[in-house]
Amino acid sequence: MKKIIENFISEIDKKNSHEPEFMQAVREIAETVLPYIVSKDIYHGKNILMRMVEPERVLMFRVNWVDDNGEIQVNRGYRVQMNSAIGPYKGGLRFHPTVNLSILKFLALEQVFKNSLTTLPMGAGKGGSDFDPKGKSDAEVMRFCQSFMTELYRYIGPNTDVPAGDIGVGGREIGYMFGQYKKLKKEFTGVLTGKGLSWGGSLIRPEATGYGTVYFAENMMNHVSKTIKGKTVIISGSGNVAQYAAEKCIQLSAKVISMSDSSGTIYDKDGIDSEKLSFIMNLKNIKRGRIHEYVKKYPNATFLKNKTPWEIPCDIALPCATQNELNEHDAKILIKNGCICVSEGANMPCEPEAIIVFKINKILYAPGKASNAGGVAVSGLEMAQNSLRYSWSREEVDSKLKEIMKDIHNSCLTHGQEKDYVNYEKGANIAGFIKVADAMLAQGVV
């Protein structure tokens, strides 16, 4: 089996060796899915995984815009339309200076499996730009978003491709892009998710990824007769996913003692309560400030400059910032300090060596494609509400989200149970694979 996997990886590597994040995601999937394919006649010999890791289409385009000083800026825009076997392409847009094709292809590939796991009819895509919204005025962000959409609008639509937010793309950016799409197409339609409530958005969509990550952690804990209640939690990031993961932990009576951004980590041993979290939300979402400002307001807390939170002792760790933010060394420290559960809010935040450490030590570990699927699931519910021209209540959406996270957990159990240990990574990959593979086989070689 090892040889089959290595041959497969080296075949993909021939065309993609300059894309390390994409190759990392391919390897992670191949190691669990190829043995399954080989064991099943219906999938074996059909080159199905080879087809799945090749994007259906990749769009790359120039985005010109004028900054507040009247200077012309040039950025690069992308949309990776990865797989449409089970529905329109669906996945976020990321605006961050590190964005490149490797990162977007890894995210789009993860999205194939994640969207399948939600059981909703969504294909997979991902896109974005190397534009950095940080430090830009609202007017600059608006002009960039309008220019970006002036090209992207040709390739998307409610039945074709429905982008959403990701790092650097929140309600403000979705609003500007939706406005431009509407103007160009002359139609009011559910082409983006994460919209404002008064113009087609769904209740709970901003909260969904963070809440879902915590619901998934609670499902894992319950499965081993434990609960989040009373546990100490560390969270990386202080953006959309991190904020609502913290909110749900607080609601479930856990103690959140740490959050971070790319400049460092805050450690508040007294716990970040609802009032302190409101301060963080205001600081990051309205003032667009830096996390170290927390310690000026709450001097009992400390700021660990340029540090991640992983050295702080905890029961549960929720990496909610970015890819490859937790390495083998961090994983060993987490285990040494008594961590029993890691639920990924971000996409691929744990390096492969870190995941091995979690598995060897048999702690609860959920890959993002399962644990952070709540965001795209509620995006799917937003699409359904847009089609119905109807809005469900907060309670209705939240209960559907809870149900979906529970179903994803059950799918992971079905395919990931190994003697006395649940391999959630294997379970998520195989469960996600089956639905997409069946659809691809039924639709022929296209």
Site residues (CB under 6 A) for ligand NDP? 165-168, 170, 209, 237-242, 261-263, 320-322, 325, 345-347, 372, 375
Min separation Cβ 113 and ligand NDP, Å: 13
| DSSP code at position 441 | H
Closer residue to ligand NDP, CB minimum distance, 34 or 204: 204
Comparing CA positions, the residue from 209, 206, 182, 180 lying closest to residue 193 is: 206
Min separation Cβ 225 and ligand NDP, Å: 29
Closer residue to ligand NDP, CB minimum distance, 239 or 416: 239
The encoded tokens of residue 182 equal 């509407």
The encoded tokens of residue 400 equal 């559907």
Q: Is the dihedral of CA 121, 202, 349, 177 positive or negative?
A: positive
The encoded tokens of residue 410 equal 């059950």
Closer residue to ligand NDP, CB minimum distance, 167 or 334: 167
Closer residue to ligand NDP, CB minimum distance, 241 or 355: 241
Distance (Å, whole) CA 233 – CA 342: 10
Distance (Å, whole) CA 8 – CA 27: 9
When computed from its CA atoms, the radius of gyration of the chain, rounded to whole angstroms, is 21
Min separation Cβ 64 and ligand NDP, Å: 24
- Given 105, 126, 255, 426, the catalytic residue: 126
- The CB-nearest residue to ligand NDP is 239
Q: Which residue has the tokens 């969270």?
A: 235
Give the CA count within 13 Å in the CB-facing half-sphere of 226: 16
Active site residue 400: no
| DSSP code at position 311 | G
Min separation Cβ 174 and ligand NDP, Å: 11
Distance (Å, whole) CA 293 – CA 266: 9
Min separation Cβ 333 and ligand NDP, Å: 18
Backbone phi and psi for residue 417, each to the nearest 5 degrees, phi listed first: -70, 125
**Centroid of chain to Cα 205:** 13
AA letter at 336? K
**Centroid of chain to Cα 300:** 32
Q: Is the dihedral of CA 50, 55, 56, 57 positive or negative?
A: negative
The encoded tokens of residue 94 equal 């990321």
Closer residue to ligand NDP, CB minimum distance, 28 or 49: 28
Closer residue to ligand NDP, CB minimum distance, 152 or 283: 283
> How does DSSP assign 347-399, residue by residue?
SS-B-HHHHHHHHHTT-EEE-HHHHTTHHHHHHHHHHHHHHHT----HHHHHH
Closer residue to ligand NDP, CB minimum distance, 37 or 320: 320
Backbone phi and psi for residue 95, each to the nearest 5 degrees, phi listed first: -110, 105
Min separation Cβ 122 and ligand NDP, Å: 13
Min separation Cβ 178 and ligand NDP, Å: 16
List residues with catalytic annotation: 126
